[in-house]
Amino acid sequence: MNIIRAKDYQDMSRKAANIISAQIIMKPDCVLGLATGSTPVGTYRQLIEWYEKGDLDFSRVSTVNLDEYRGLAHTDPQSYYYFMQENLFDHVNIDKTATHVPDGTNPDAADACAKHEQIIKSLGGIDLQLLGLGNNGHIGFNEPGAAFEKETHLVDLAESTIRANARFFTSIDEVPKQAYTMGIRTIMQAKKILVVVSGESKADIVSRAFFGPVTPEVPASILQMHPDVTVVCDEAALSMSPL
């Protein structure tokens, strides 16, 4: 595991974007696994800036997203489908038909999850998977539990996750209680993994996830077992870690 220290959020975003851009340049038809939430937004902004300067070409890139709320329409501003259009896809020359987000509008959970898993397999797997880190150690929407979940599946969101995501909604009652998410096995099958973490509020979980024991009670701790993981943290997020 390679842990990179960044000065602040902007520096973290730039360093993460450097890693993603290198992947695109080395393999123009690469498959990127993408994440949502507030932490990757700066990384996406940096990628857009480099695209606008002519430094990046997304025309042959394919993407698969980690997760999606169950029951939100694509037009819902809180859906991750909408998030990806707003924060990346609408601003670069990516082929929209090559972008894949779990279908939260599909009420058949087994079907929705199987189709997303099949898309990943049909693309030949993920070259680089971008991850954030939840306050309780979740990656994607894989919440703490008794075992590591395997493939794309339906998950009941933890109360702490619902509370954390409530800032994006008018009230906590509007936050969806379920989501479709890539499982730990699917994430771990990515050839490379890139984790971005920012802020003092994540310092404790960074220490537990990347310097503590591997346990499903801290889902991100499994990343210690992956052969090619880079974690980019700002100084605040690393403030409790033994570095």
Looking at the annotation, which residues are catalytic?
67, 136, 138, 143
- The distance in angstroms from the start CA to the end CA of the chain is 13
In this structure, the number of other CB atoms found within 10 A of the CB of residue 129 comes to 28
Name residues whose C-beta falls within 8 Å of residue 108's C-beta, 6 or more positions apart in sequence.
none
Q: Which run of H or E residues covers position 184?
A: helix 184-188
Cα–Cα distance, 151 to 43 (Å, whole number): 26
Read off the DSSP letter of residue 84. H
- How many angstroms separate the CA atoms of 238 and 234, rounded? 7
Cα–Cα distance measured from residue 35 to residue 196, given in angstroms and rounded to the nearest whole number: 10
